[in-house]
Amino acid sequence: MSEKELKANAAGESYNAESIQVLEGLEAVRKRPSMYIGDIGERGLHHLVYEVVDNSIDEIDVTINEDNSITVSDNGRGIPTGMHEKEHRSALEVVLTILHAGGKFNKGSYKVSGGLHGVGVSCVNALSVYLKAEIHREGKIFVQEYSKGKPTCEVKVVGEATDTGTTITFRPDPEIFTLTTVYNYETLATRLRELAFLNKKVRLTLTDKRAREKGEDGVERPMEKKQVFYSEEGLKEFVAYLDGNRTHLTEKPIYLETDKTGIPIEIAMQYNTEYSENVHSYVNNINTIEGGTHLTGFRGGLTSTLKAYADKNDLLKKAKVEISPDDFREGLTAVISVKVAEPQFEGQTKTKLGNAEVRSAVSKAVSEALENYLEENPQDARKIVEKVILAAQARQAARKAREMVQRKSGMSGVGMPDKLADCSDRDPAKCELFIVEGDSAGGTAKEGRNRQYQAVLPLRGKILNVEKAMEHRVFDSDTIRNIYTALGVTVGTEEDSKALNLSKLRYHKIIIMADADVDGAHITTLILTFFFRYMIDLIKNGYVYCATPPLYKVEKKNQKEPKPNYCWSDEERDKIVEELGGINAVRIQRYKGLGEMSQDQLADTTMDPEHRILRKVYIENAAEADRIFSMLMGDDVPPRREFIEQHAKYANIDA
């Protein structure tokens, strides 16, 4: 998705069939879909929608149809349908069948490009068993249909149009998306909400036609679920949304919107009384979770400007402690959005901006805006500097604890936590660490594991809630220090006290294994909060998982050696009960804790790679994850209760 007005350039070039450039074909997409959309699971499935939305303009309507197909409509100019001079076929067909073909690659048609890889709607077409394009343009309605990337008919005129725009309807191919083709409403809502904040005054609508409601007569009927996402002030409102569960340190957000050397830059930031830094960066609406030159420029401009102001006004004299760059960012929530005509992405997930020219542009923009803000708001400026000094003092208190973690973590097994039952293999790629709550479950896991490659670390009691703790308290926690030590990672650099060095990471699967109840869900959330705030690189590199122990064991009565049937949901339990002859023929055991399972049962259902279900933890939307952790682990009860009521399921609250 581009900016609200993606008009032809200043030279007045038009958007027509000649504007479409062909870069390469679709041959590899169906063979290697993960290269183009990330994966073929739930994440990749939703990425199809994002690619179509990112190709749209102005008002956008997204509909989840009853059959789980998706319809995306916009009121833009409509994809050109005229004959493409080089391809000798309709420009619409070129856009829908050739990878990287589109007006966004022509500087004369669009200013910037959205989309993670710019593969656009052609990639969606290749991975859909059915796709229909309806174009309103030049007073006519044009239609063309496709299957698995190939047209099933020519472009045809089916009526007259008084408006302009494009409507794409597609149904993902179950041969590609073998795990699921069912769309999650909340996942799509989160992305559209984010896009609304990033593109102020653009209206986006999400409709779910699958929804049902029960009438007073108990009969289920269709119910249209609908949300409209619209932001009048853009990033200002985004920061307010992210900080909704935090206490503001300053009265109003610091905001800038400018253009430096042809790079549109928009930034909003707000200091709060918490202890973590929450800075989210975007390039052409894509969340650059690995940062890049725009983030480096932001941090540099923020640090130099704040330090210069504090020195100028003699505010650091009484600090009696050296100020570090990350002290200036403690308790800061910020969103950085830049538009780059030809972005260069690099890094582990190709979401790190590499354009060198962006760094100086962002740094200069931040410095100018922040200088003005500090001069015009001296009381807020003093509060920010006092917060920086407090952060520096706390960091100094935490340094010794961090150094203790460093020494233990770098000793290749020497000084490992007493409770760690390590594995014999030393190849991290083959090794797994199960983090288990309590000695009872830990003991069962130790007995049931494969000692060759599975290690177990029992935790004593609940881990510290790091969302509400200062950094020195986090590193003073024995439980947290044991996790660092067991993993073998080192922490902290001059630039970032929480930065991880994963070069000596001892396990490439770190599995949180907690009870399948409310208490277990809380423990899982506490550990994930710690990983998100202090060890996020583990998540980014795909090393963190959650185990999924069964909820029930169902056996048929009056059998000498009954065969156990394990169930992970109420629906699965009911199905097994019916197959075994009904409730009167049910012996049902509800597992309330891992300690209730024998070592063989725990191994067979939850630890054995042949039979277990692992849920990989990944960051679909870093800003939303930040907000949710803040809400779940903060002090404000009503939003937490509302979230749990909306998302929890009976007997499986963490599903």
Q: Which of 211, 229, 247 is the C-terminal boundary of a domain? A: 229
Q: What does the buried/exposed string (b/e) look like for 278-293 if buried means 16 or more CB atoms within 10 Å of the residue's CB?
A: bbbbbbbbbbbbbbbb
Q: Tell me if residue 217 is catalytic.
A: no
- 568 inside domain: no
Same domain assignment for residues 282 and 133: no
Which pLDDT value is given to residue 409?
A: 53
Q: Are residues 225 and 88 in the same domain?
A: yes
Answer yes or no: do 218 and 242 share one domain: no
User: Domain total for the chain?
Assistant: 3
Is residue 148 situated within a structural domain?
A: yes
pLDDT at residue 398, rounded to an integer:
73
Q: What is the pLDDT confidence band of residue 114, given thresholds at 50, 70 and 90?
A: very low
Residue tagged active-site, from 517, 604, 624, 654: 517
How many CB atoms are closer than 10 A to CB 38?
A: 17
Whether 652 maps to a domain, the answer reads no
In a domain, 350, yes or no: yes
Domain co-membership, 223 together with 239: no
Q: Which amino acid is located at 361 in the chain?
A: A
Instruction: Give the CATH number, domain containing residue 266.
Output: 3.30.230.10
Going by C-alpha positions, the residue among 93, 91, 75, 90 that lies closest to residue 136 is 75
Choose one of 229, 264, 284: the last residue of a domain: 229
Please indicate, yes or no, whether residues 255 and 224 belong to a single structural domain of this protein. Answer: no
Distance CA 298, CA 321 (A): 24
End-to-end CA distance of the chain: 31
Q: Which is catalytic among the residues 58, 208, 476, 515?
A: 515
Where is mean pLDDT largest: 24-28, 398-402, 611-615, 631-635?
A: 611-615
Longest dimension (CA), the chain: 85
pLDDT single digits (tens) 122-134: 999 999 999 999 9
Give residue 142's pLDDT band: very low, low, confident or very high (50, 70, 90). Answer: very high
Count CB-CB contacts under 10 A for residue 348.
12
Residues 35-43: what's their mean pLDDT? 86
CB 534 within 8 A of CB 456: no
Whole-angstrom distance, CA of residue 375 vs CA of residue 649: 52
Which residue among 437, 476, 537, 654 is the active-site one? 437
The whole-angstrom separation of Cα 1 and Cα 51 is: 8
User: Is the same domain home to 316 and 424?
Assistant: no
Query: How many other CB atoms sit within 10 Å of the CB of residue 418?
Result: 5
CA distance 501 to 373: 36
Q: Is residue 398 part of a domain?
A: no
Q: 373 and 246, same structural domain?
A: yes
152 within a domain of the structure (yes/no):
yes
Tell whether 154 and 122 lie within a shared domain.
Answer: yes
Spatial distance between the Cα atoms of 120 and 36, rounded to a whole number of angstroms: 10
521 and 506 share a domain?
yes
Q: In this model, does residue 585 exceed pLDDT 70?
A: no
Measured CA to CA, the distance from residue 654 to residue 24 in angstroms comes to: 44
Helix (H) or strand (E) holding 377: none
Q: CA–CA separation, 486 vs 413, rounded Å?
A: 8
- Strands 220-222 and 263-271, how do they pair? unpaired
Whether residue 10 is contained in a domain is answered as: no
**pLDDT, tens digit, 9 for 90 and up, residues 190-249:** 999 999 999 999 999 999 999 888 777 778 888 889 999 999 999 999 999 999 888 899
Q: How many CB atoms lie within 10 A of CB 320?
A: 10
Domain residues for the domain of 419 are 410-549+614-647
Model confidence at 321, in pLDDT bands (50, 70, 90)?
confident
DSSP-derived 3-state class of residue 308: helix
Q: Look at residues 366, 393, 420 and tell me which one is the last residue of a structural domain.
A: 393
Give the model's pLDDT for residue 655.
31
Residue recorded with tokens 């200088």? 371
Answer yes or no: is 584 within a domain: no
- The model's pLDDT over 515-526, given as tens digits with 9 standing for 90+, comes to 888 888 889 999
Tell me the pLDDT tens digit for each residue of 417-469.
888 999 999 999 999 999 998 888 899 999 999 999 999 999 987 899 998 88
Catalytic: which of 257, 447, 519, 555? 519
| 214 and 240 inside one domain | no
For residue 207, give the CATH number of its domain: 3.30.565.10
Active-site residue flag, 515: yes
DSSP 8-state secondary structure symbol assigned to residue 348? T
Domain CATH code at residue 503: 3.40.50.670
Q: Both 131 and 94 in a single domain?
A: yes
Catalytic residue flag (residue 604): no
Which amino acid belongs to residue 414? Answer: V
Rg (CA), the chain: 27
CB neighbour list of residue 73: distance below 8 Å, 6 or more residues apart: 60, 61, 63, 165, 166, 167, 168
* 623 shares a domain with 529: yes
Q: Once rounded to an integer, what is the mean pLDDT over residues 465-489? A: 88
Would you call 327 a catalytic residue per the annotation? no
- Residues 591-622 have pLDDT tens digits of 878 888 889 999 999 999 998 989 999 888 88
Of residues 90 and 563, the one with the higher pLDDT is 90
Six-digit token string for 34: 């993960």
